[in-house]
Amino acid sequence: MTMVLHTNNVSRRFGGVEALRSVSLDVASGEKVALLGHNGAGKTTLFRIILGFLRTHSGSVSINGQPPGSRLARRDVSYLPESVAFPKMLTGREIVSFYAKLKSADAAQVGSALEKVDLAGAADRPCGGYSKGMRQRLGLAQAIVGSPKLMLLDEPTSGLDPISRQRFYTLIGDIADKGTAVLLSSHGLSELELKTDRVAILRKGELVANGSLAELQRSANLPIRIRVRSNSDDVESVHRRFGGERVNGESVEFDCARPDKMDRLSAISQLGPAVSDVDISSPSLDEVYRYFSREDAEGGNEA
């Protein structure tokens, strides 16, 4: 596995504020990593260091073995900020063509990029007339030209409707499948849950979690949620047996520690016809994120 982005013990201060503290985070070729954290956690500072806009006070960063901001590193990195802004009088095609020339990309990629983000029909209109969602898609188009080795995406689905969001993640998946490393920062946790390979969580400048969702679920040791569907005649006895709370008069929901799951399922199966269905819900990304973002969470740099 080729490591495209490598950060080792990166620290950065602004006056007396330590924005990043000994952060080590790698992203491999073809990997999609979600970078999460509250506002002020250090996500933007890390992005700016990777882009070469800021220097580290300690630690190191490399993109394909090259220092941030170098000519070779700039050639390999594409960036989509949360709020994109382009000259209003230029057309979408002119904007993407400009970035293609900056990256020495083939002109044929311009039309392909616009088509991939569903802007082919508006490519020759001034982008000043684009909606916010269209401008965001134009920003994505400029980011994918030039076959970048690393894509940095900051709140990339801001302003996109649900269908456009789905298309966005499909496109990012296709790009990653071709070998591009993707580091994506977003507050839309529910949409990230099945779209990324790994989750990294920053809290007050420190990397407190780094692993797949399954690994973080095990590390956090959060309870599993079990819903037992019964009927109006038996639901009370099911409730007495397992506790929890009754839902809609025909179901019982209760939490279960992960090691106790099989014992609970065995006990449920012994109820026979009193049970018509069972649903099991593992902790969501939102719950995992809230756990590691707590001040008293015992997070570590690895799950």
For residues 73-101, give the mean pLDDT: 93
Query: Is 303 domain-assigned?
Result: no
For residues 152-164, give the mean pLDDT: 86
For the chain, the domain total comes to 2
Domain identity same for 139 and 277: no
For residues 213-240, give the mean pLDDT: 90
Predicted pLDDT at 231: 82
Q: Mean pLDDT lowest for which of 8-12, 163-167, 178-182?
A: 163-167
Structural tokens at position 221: 């040791």
| pLDDT of residue 75 exceeding 80 | yes
| Domain limits for position 227 | 223-282
Residue pLDDT, tens place only, 3-31: 999 999 999 999 989 999 999 999 999 99
Domain identity same for 183 and 71: yes
Q: Which residue has the higher pLDDT, 160 or 144?
A: 144
Query: Is 291 domain-assigned?
Result: no
Mean pLDDT of the chain: 91
CATH number of the domain residue 98 falls in: 3.40.50.300
Q: What proportion of the chain, given as a percentage, has pLDDT over 70?
A: 97
Residue pLDDT, tens place only, 44-54: 999 999 999 99
Query: Is 288 domain-assigned?
Result: no
Domain identity same for 230 and 201: no
Residue pLDDT, tens place only, 247-300: 888 899 999 998 899 999 999 999 998 899 999 999 999 999 999 998 665 555
